[in-house]
Amino acid sequence: MSKNSVSPATRLPSGWDERYDVLVVGGGNAALCAAITARNAGSKVLVLEGAPKFYRGGNTRHTRNLRCAHDEANEVLTGPYSEDEFWDDLMRVTGGQTNEELARHTISESRELWDWMNEQGVRFQPPLGGTLSLGRTNAFFLGGGRAMLNALYLRAEKLGVDIVYDAMVTDLEIEDGHFNSATVEVDGTSHTIRAATLVTAAGGFEANIDWLKEYWGERAGNFLIRGTPYNKGSILRLLLDRGVEPVGDPTQCHAVAIDARSPQFDGGIVTRLDCVIFGVVVNNECVRFYDEGEDFWPKRYAIWGRLVADQPDQTAYIIIDSKAISLVMPSVYPAIEAGSIGELAGKLGLSAERLEATVADYNASVQPGDFDPNTLDDCHTEGLEPPKTHWARTIDEPPFYGYPVRPGITFTYLGTRVDKQARILMTDGKPSANMYAAGEIMAGNVLGKGYIAGIGMTIGAVFGRIAGREAAKHARN
Amino acid sequence: MHATDALAEADRQMTICNACRYCEGLCAVFPAMEKHRTFADGDLNYLANLCHSCGACYQDCQFSTPHEFAVDVPRTLAKVRNDSYKTYAWPGFLAGLFDRNGLAISIVAALGVAAFILGFIAFNDADQLFAVHQGEGAFYRLMPHNAMIILFGAAFAYAILALCMGCRAFWRDSNAVNAVIGDGRVSIWQAMKDASTLRYLDGGGVGCINEDERPTDNRRLYHHLTFYGFLLCFGATSMGTIYHYVFGWQAPYPWWDIPPMLGKVGGVGLVIGTVGLLAAKWRRDPALVDESKRGMDTAFLVMLFLTAATGLALHGLRSTPAMGMMLAIHLGVVFSLFLTMPYGKFVHGIYRFAALTRYAMSNRHGFAKPGASSSDS
Ligand SMILES: Cc1cc2nc3c(=O)[nH]c(=O)nc-3n(C[C@H](O)[C@H](O)[C@H](O)COP(=O)(O)OP(=O)(O)OC[C@H]3O[C@@H](n4cnc5c(N)ncnc54)[C@H](O)[C@@H]3O)c2cc1C
Ligand code: SF4
Ligand code: SF4
């Protein structure tokens, strides 16, 4: 792409057939944290990233922030955010579906992340007005996840970690829970890589539609994948097939409702819509199916993916009017605009009659109240099923706006079971001698269901560092 | 809807950025962009002139090519910015000069130099041009001081007028959509600080992205040398004028005196700065560059370089027979620099300063951002 940039490493480094101490599969946050830590501990480290250089770092490219516990405010976090509070937040979203030991360990280790990331050259953004309601609990990467990754890659390269792009690992030779070698496709040829230890940080399987269909049925064909197309779960599959103990419910994932016009893969953060709480959401029969005003959008964001997945054609429509449009984030695809509800229905491909009836029913049930987008206000409906419990205002001021939405899968929770040393556990309950897992591939240990913003990166960085440290220790012995 | 394809493309990309906002901590462009929901041409020209082309947002963007969203803010804004110079040029019929900038400037420069050589010969005779002139007033034996003042005064006054008119048009257009009421004085002071430190040419702190994803601060350093070198040279000329009119001391001055010292230091800064910027330009990742206007940047840097180099040469050779010729060349170059200023890359400084002022004003005025909701996961 660029005439002078360092030629992308799509070839194995010379000397690759010597034995590595630590082989890291994947190239995101978890992988890089592991590689840097292992290299700092003196190991010879190889990172195999399946994606081309531009797409390096999988879903990490799309992230924005990292959740970390801390005792007092610093340059980027208003504070404090105690471990207990973090734990409470996690309990609330998972409803207790978490491994307490691992979760508490993650939370306590998260305290070190901010400093550690800074040392690696990752830069954070001072809290800016407006956007950062998460400024207390989450540290925001300056320039976003790709900037953060660029810093980690730069650091890893400087330390002498070998990195190969376009290097899909296609097989793992595992004997009685012991890793011997990996097969990797580089430049159309297969190579066998031997290493003393293996760190798997290859993400979930959300980009593997066929695999998703095993649990969701044919409707998974209508799902949009918000992140990288490279997380096909191939490593997870290999591990599970070779006697690794699974963790997590395969149907659990982070799924939000995103603009239906988004690309099937890699649309990233821009496809989100935050207008649900200000309008009504109907399916393609023009029927409402859930309380749009249940809670603040960021808090209820993650349930709408599943709700929409249960609707016919896995599609729904958010309808708002001109009162609401200025309250919501600008969207990447323009709202579909019309002068009347009937006209809007036509543009959205819905029945005008039915949409008009649904909106009229809703409008008739709206009670007077003091509208306030910043609190759970008292604007609600009465006699409507399902009700809208907050921010209910009549939809009657043209122009009217509509957004079609679809389920957008962020990441999956089925993964490999691990212990506190990030060692992969085998189905017999014993830890593998030399295999470790970090990040999305094992996030299900901590996140049984639900999601709290920024915890994906926390789990990846905490377990990445542990895996790197433990793998290096094991390789030395 | 938009006047040009470049503006339409900038609108498309800014709409993506506005839904993303990951780059909001990198520079002024993004917070300024967030204050809009839609983008009129004037808004886009304003945003484009706020961009310092540090390249950070391109390297940091998860949506740059090969991603189908193909976001490349630095290149897109460079295009819009370069076009905007033309849009606001005064008088309008000279706007076309921007398109053939490199060629136009070399022709004007060549003509300028030739005119001065011929002018000297006309004032004196060919022999005088190659004679040794020394001591106070040596320059003016080649060309009377008043002739110089009239020529340069006129060229300078014209440049200032044209620049002011262009700036006025830019300011109106960028304000047309969202009028800003604010404290002008404080905002100008803020803009002066931001411009003089090149606050936004730092990629959000680590430096500029130039040839690859490794940031350096080279472009900022060379830009500083160029800018301050230019100011020092300008200061040297101004001091000379004061010496002449206030104290009646005539150039050339002894090497240790203020005008030659300012000129020398400034000249060396300009030479190193412009060569450094040219080298950085040469190595710059093409993905960051508006190729169609590359000639304009280069022509301006070369003119600045020539101004400094001929000035230094004049200083070095002033006691030799080459002085006459050097003086003619130097004055010719400076003259053409003045004349071409309003129609070349020089204007970027003016519009950027105006944009920074408008940014400072709107910050003080405190527009509400549309949809200031938290944007995570
Ligand atoms: C739009 C979006 C926004 C998000 N925002 C946030 C946020 O703000 N904060 C947060 O904490 N989390 C966020 N997340 C979740 C977060 O992205 C993940 O939790 C995190 O990236 C997981 O990191 P990882 O290193 O485990 O996986 P990834 O970053 O996905 O890396 C997996 C890597 O493995 C590679 N790979 C896959 N298979 C193979 C193979 N066979 N061989 C070799 N390499 C392979 C992939 O190419 C990829 O590089 C977001 C996710 C999305 C999609
Ligand atoms: S340049 Fe890319 S990452 Fe930055 S705000 Fe725009 S879309 Fe987002
Ligand atoms: S100044 Fe830098 S970060 Fe800002 S828009 Fe321009 S290139 Fe992007």
How close is the nearest chain B Cα to the Cα of A176, in Å? 38
Share of chain A above pLDDT 70, in %: 97
Strand runs (DSSP E) across A19-175, as ranges?
20-25, 45-48, 65-67, 138-140, 162-164, 168-175
pLDDT for B374 beyond 60: no
Nearest residue, CB atoms, A65 vs list B214, B370, B376: B376
How many angstroms separate the Cα of A364 from the Cα of each of A345, A351, A400, A402?
Answer: 19, 20, 18, 20
Least confident of A226-240, B105-119, B269-283: B105-119
Q: What integer pLDDT is reported at residue A291 of this predicted model? A: 97
pLDDT for B20 beyond 50: yes
Split at pLDDT 50, 70, 90, the class of A128 is low
pLDDT digits (tens, 9 = 90+) for B189-205: 999 999 999 999 988 88
How close is the nearest chain B Cα to the Cα of A321, in Å? 15
pLDDT for A2 beyond 50: no
Q: What integer pLDDT is reported at residue B180 of this predicted model? A: 57
Q: What integer pLDDT is reported at residue B98 of this predicted model? A: 86
Mutate to test the pocket of ligand 1, among A60, A138, A463 (most ligand atoms within 8 A of CB): A60
pLDDT for B208 beyond 60: yes
pLDDT averaged over chain B? 89
pLDDT for A247 beyond 90: yes
Q: Which ligand is nearest to the CA of B47?
A: 3
Distance CA A468, CA A30 (A): 9
Can you give chain B as a three-state secondary structure string? CCCCHHHHHHHHHHHHHHHHCHHHHCCCHHHHHCCCCCCCHHHHHHHHHHCCCCCHHHHHCCCCCCCCCCCCHHHHHHHHHHHHHHHCCCCHHHHHHHCCHHHHHHHHHHHHHHHHHHHHHHHCCHHHHCCCCCCCCHHHHHCCHHHHHHHHHHHHHHHHHHHHHHHHHHHHHHHHCCCCCCCHHHHHHHHHHHHHHCCCCCHHHCCECCCCCCCECHHHHHHHHHHHHHHHHHHHHHHHHHHHHHHCCCCCCCCCCHHHHHHHHHHHHHHHHHHHHHHHHHHCCHHHCCHHHHHHHHHHHHHHHHHHHHHHHHHHCCCCCCHHHHHHHHHHHHHHHHHHHHHCCCHHHHHHHHHHHHHHHHHHHCCCCCCCCCCCC
Is B325's C-beta closer than 6 angstroms to any atom of ligand 3? Answer: no
Q: What integer pLDDT is reported at residue B198 of this predicted model? A: 92
Nearest CA in chain A to B68: A263
Q: What integer pLDDT is reported at residue A6 of this predicted model? A: 42
The encoded tokens of residue B286 equal 């093409």
Residue B251 one-letter amino acid:
A
pLDDT for B101 beyond 90: no
The encoded tokens of residue A312 equal 């016919």
Q: What integer pLDDT is reported at residue B182 of this predicted model? A: 58
Share of chain B above pLDDT 90, in %: 57
| Mean pLDDT, rounded, for A417-428 | 97
Q: What integer pLDDT is reported at residue B272 of this predicted model? A: 97
Three-state SS for A255? strand
Q: At what angle do helices B5-20 and B73-87 cross, to 10 degrees?
A: 140
The encoded tokens of residue A232 equal 């096909």
Split at pLDDT 50, 70, 90, the class of B177 is very low
Look at the block and give the residue holding tokens 């592991």: A34
A269 vs B contacts (CB less than 8 Å): 19-20, 22, 375, 377
The encoded tokens of residue A350 equal 């819905």
pLDDT for B130 beyond 90: no
- Choice between B206 and A424, residue whose per-residue pLDDT is larger: A424
A440 C-alpha to ligand 1 centroid (Å): 7
pLDDT for A434 beyond 50: yes
Look at the block and give the residue holding tokens 């020529």: B151
Q: What integer pLDDT is reported at residue B366 of this predicted model? A: 61
Contact yes or no for B372 and A130 at CB 8 A: yes
Q: What integer pLDDT is reported at residue A131 of this predicted model? A: 46
Contact yes or no for B23 and A144 at CB 8 A: yes
- Tell the burial category of A157 from Cβ atoms under 10 Å away from its Cβ (0-12, 13-18, 19+): middle
Cβ neighbours of residue B110 under 8 Å, at least 6 residues apart? Answer: none
| Mean pLDDT, rounded, for A7-21 | 80
Instruction: Give the mutation candidate from A7, A131, A141, A403 for the B interface (greatest B CB count, under 10 A).
Output: A131
pLDDT for A426 beyond 50: yes
Split at pLDDT 50, 70, 90, the class of B179 is low
Strand runs (DSSP E) across A141-188, as ranges?
162-164, 168-175, 178-186
Q: Does the beta carbon of A410 lie under 8 angstroms from any beta carbon of chain B?
A: yes
Can you give A188-234 as a three-state secondary structure string? CEEEEEEEEEEEECCCCCCCCHHHHHHHHHHHHHHCEECCCCCCCCH
For residue A336, the surrounding DSSP H or E stretch is strand A336-338
Is B54's C-beta closer than 6 angstroms to any atom of ligand 3? Answer: yes
pLDDT digits (tens, 9 = 90+) for B180-191: 555 677 888 999
Split at pLDDT 50, 70, 90, the class of B368 is low
Least confident of A271-275, B147-151, B304-308, B339-343: B147-151
pLDDT digits (tens, 9 = 90+) for A290-322: 999 999 877 788 889 999 999 999 999 999 999
Q: Which long-range contacts (CB under 8 A, 24 or more apart) does A282-285 make?
A: A282/A316, A282/A317, A282/A319, A282/A350, A282/A355, A282/A358, A283/A311, A283/A312, A283/A315, A283/A316, A283/A317, A284/A311, A284/A312, A284/A313, A284/A315, A284/A316, A284/A317, A284/A349, A284/A350, A285/A312, A285/A354
How close is the nearest chain B Cα to the Cα of A62, in Å? 7
Is B29's C-beta closer than 6 angstroms to any atom of ligand 3? Answer: yes
pLDDT for B176 beyond 70: no
pLDDT for A446 beyond 50: yes
Distance CA B244, CA B236 (A): 12
Tell me if the pTM is above 0.90.
yes
Cβ neighbours of residue B50 under 8 Å, at least 6 residues apart? Answer: B27, B28, B29, B32, B200, B352, B355, B356, B359
pLDDT for A127 beyond 80: no
Contact yes or no for A147 and B56 at CB 8 A: yes
pLDDT for B318 beyond 80: yes
| Mean pLDDT, rounded, for B292-302 | 88
Q: What integer pLDDT is reported at residue A34 of this predicted model? A: 98
**Cβ–Cβ < 8 Å for A141, A64:** yes
**Residue A319: beta bridge partners?**
A280, A402
Nearest residue, CB atoms, A150 vs list B23, B60, B285: B60
Q: Torsion angle of alpha carbons A214, A219, A220, A224, nearest 10°?
A: 180
Contact yes or no for A453 and B376 at CB 8 A: yes
pLDDT digits (tens, 9 = 90+) for A218-242: 999 999 999 999 999 999 999 999 9
Distance CA B304, CA B307 (A): 5
A28 C-alpha to ligand 1 centroid (Å): 6
pLDDT digits (tens, 9 = 90+) for A145-195: 999 999 999 999 999 999 999 999 999 999 999 999 999 999 899 999 999
Q: What integer pLDDT is reported at residue A3 of this predicted model? A: 38
ipTM value: 0.95
A125 vs B contacts (CB less than 8 Å): 24-25
Nearest CA in chain B to A137: B376
pLDDT for A288 beyond 50: yes
What is residue A25's DSSP assignment?
E
Q: What integer pLDDT is reported at residue A204 of this predicted model? A: 95
